[in-house]
Amino acid sequence: MSENIVSRENYFEVVIVGGGPCGLATASRLCEATAGSIYTEDEHQRFHWLRQRGPKSAKVLRGAKKDVRFELPTKLKASDILVLDAVSDSFMGQWNNQFESCQIPTLRSPMFFHPDPVNIDGMITYAFTHRREKDLLEIQNVVGKEYSKHQQKRIIKKNAKKQASPLKGESRNDDRPGLIDINMRDYRDYYRPSTKFFRDFCEDIVDRYGLRSSIRKDRVVSLTYGDIEIMEENKIVTGFTIRTASGKVYGCENCVVASGHDGIINYPLPGLKDANPTLEQACHTTHLFNRNISFPPPVITSKLAEKKCASLVIVGGGLTSAQLAHISCDLGVKVTLLLRSFIKIKHFDFHLDWVTKYKNLKKSSFYMLDTDEERLQLIHDAREGGLMNPEYYKKLQKHVKKGMLQILDYSSIKQAQHGEEGWCLKIAEKRPDQEAREYDLQTDYICCATGISPNVQGLEYMQPIIKDFPIDFVGGLPCLTHDLRWSEELPLYMVGKNAALRVGPTSANLDGARVGAERVGWKIQNDYNEARPETLPLSTSLQIALNAQNRYSVLQGVEC
């Protein structure tokens, strides 16, 4: 008899660990038979042509026999899916905490980045349907419409010369800034939604697929794979046993890990380790997002309440550090922004080539690489570490002019001591081709916006899987199969940041959430059909595309 006993009500077809954007994208994709959000407009037109001609076109393309029948894939029901989230009993709980902590008014991503599995223009459709166009903010200086045709030709010609003749000792870099070939008719995509608009849009997806009761707040502590006894049915099946912090035991045939921000937080920094700071003295942004401490921290708010001068050091050069600095300066806190290199300014986390609708060329260069080591290096090159967008860079410059903010680049904390008057820091500055220097800095509090390093091997609940089903890791990331499975024999899937070696630099963003959900949803639906003799085999990719076009046309008000 199996030692893993699960009640029938706690056994599901799929259990998803994590209720963020990746978890929502995967759950909604599993409940959708006609997904079409990853197809471009040209592909939709092609699929529409094929649908009109029916099986004859399939016969020509596939060499199919006359009696071949195509069927819709069998989608899962919401009751077949359980989502376990350690933070909230609703989707996007951690996401909402992060946006509220940083008081972020709008998303960074453009309109075609979202978890809707049906329509790539879903957010645009939602905005016009609900008359919420005012919730969309234009991302300026992206598309290039500010330039005349003559100016565009000059810039393209200038960039072509630079790429053709790189300077001595300088390597070619396809991610250099320049004009991007974007269809001007799609300029509306380069708007971004307000935080409230995006939250409402995601709630609409949850309601559309009836997923509101599918998510539970509970932290996974153990994940194993083997024989499971279903109590009421007195039968043994093979699947995953999931144990949680509340003592519950769940079982499932397929498991999807969508916990994007699990890993090693880069804290405390080397210069802070010896001081062993408490949360009342210093923190990492993860502590803010998990509500372990409020922002601004108590030591800052108490000084502001007493109308005393308060100071704060923020370590990091990304968008989160810029957002926290902006909030603090507006409150009257003097902020020092500490960067180990220089400020990098881009609209998105990577160059625009990776995020436009015409990104296939860039992604193809990633997929064609031979080794995972090369893919990891390309990911690092594309993301370039911490980046802030032009909007927040301008805000920071205003605070610099007012004297509320100082930016120390090429600097790091070498030594730190905490006393009654706060922190005394020794700052080490090392600029290229210059002698290093050190100086002292006083501050009340330190906040580290230094990110999280991926480390699937270090996840506590993954230890039984890692031991029983070992696979290779590169840079803390698992070397998954093409359909994002742990291995060919194990139906454990990973989406989001942990699938970066297969999805690419956008894996941790909304684009990667949707792409990963499509791969996982396709595979799970395929296996779901094949395991049930009463259903026909899953349709070919052609028929999926045809049905996606039909759904897409309905949404756009086009008669097919």
Task: Return the higher-pLDDT residue of 458 and 165.
Answer: 458
Percent pLDDT > 90 in the chain is 51
> Per the omega criterion (within 30 degrees of 0), is the bond before 268 cis?
yes
What pLDDT is stored for residue 209 in this prediction? 96
Question: What's the full length of the chain, in residues?
Answer: 560
Q: Nearest to residue 313, comparing CAs of 288, 338, 283?
A: 338
In angstroms, the CA 281 to CA 389 distance is: 29
The sign one gets for the Cα dihedral 98, 99, 104, 110 is: positive
Q: Nearest to residue 451, comparing CAs of 304, 280, 264, 326?
A: 264
pLDDT in tens, 509-524: 888 899 999 999 999 9
pTM for the full predicted model: 0.80
What pLDDT is stored for residue 499 in this prediction? 94
Residue 437: burial class (beta carbons within 10 Å; 0-12, 13-18, 19+):
exposed
- What's the pLDDT band for 496 if we cut at 50, 70, 90? very high
What pLDDT is stored for residue 558 in this prediction? 35
CA atoms lying within 13 Å on the CB side of residue 172: 6
**At 510, is the secondary structure helix, strand, or coil?**
helix
Give the containing element (helix H, strand E) for 494. strand 490-494
In angstroms, the CA 287 to CA 306 distance is: 26
In angstroms, the CA 526 to CA 522 distance is: 6
**CA 179 to mean position of chain CA atoms:** 26
Which alpha helices (DSSP H) does 368-459 contain, by range? 372-383, 390-402
In angstroms, the CA 153 to CA 409 distance is: 35
In angstroms, the CA 544 to CA 528 distance is: 16
Q: Tokens at residue 7, please?
A: 């009640």
What is the widest separation between alpha-carbon atoms in the chain? 85
Q: Nearest to residue 116, comparing CAs of 526, 552, 533?
A: 552
CA distances from 120 to 198, 241, 316 (A): 14, 35, 33
Cβ contact 300:314 at 8 Å: no
pLDDT in tens, 189-230: 578 899 999 999 999 999 999 999 999 999 999 999 999 999
- Residue 155: other Cβ atoms inside 10 A: 14
- Residue 123: other Cβ atoms inside 10 A: 27
- What's the pLDDT band for 174 if we cut at 50, 70, 90? very low
In angstroms, the CA 173 to CA 426 distance is: 36
Cβ contact 192:212 at 8 Å: no
pLDDT in tens, 425-446: 999 999 988 899 999 999 999 9
pLDDT in tens, 80-130: 999 999 999 999 999 998 898 888 899 988 888 899 998 888 898 899 999
In angstroms, the CA 503 to CA 510 distance is: 12
Query: Per-residue DSSP letters for 163-217?
Result: HHSPPTT----TT--------GGGGGGSEEEBHHHHHHHHHHHHHHTT-GGGEEE
Strands, DSSP E only, in 330-454? Answer: 334-338, 405-408, 411-419, 422-429, 437-443, 445-448, 452-453
- What's the pLDDT band for 351 if we cut at 50, 70, 90? low
What pLDDT is stored for residue 190 in this prediction? 75
Task: Return the higher-pLDDT residue of 457 and 257.
Answer: 257
Cβ contact 18:513 at 8 Å: no
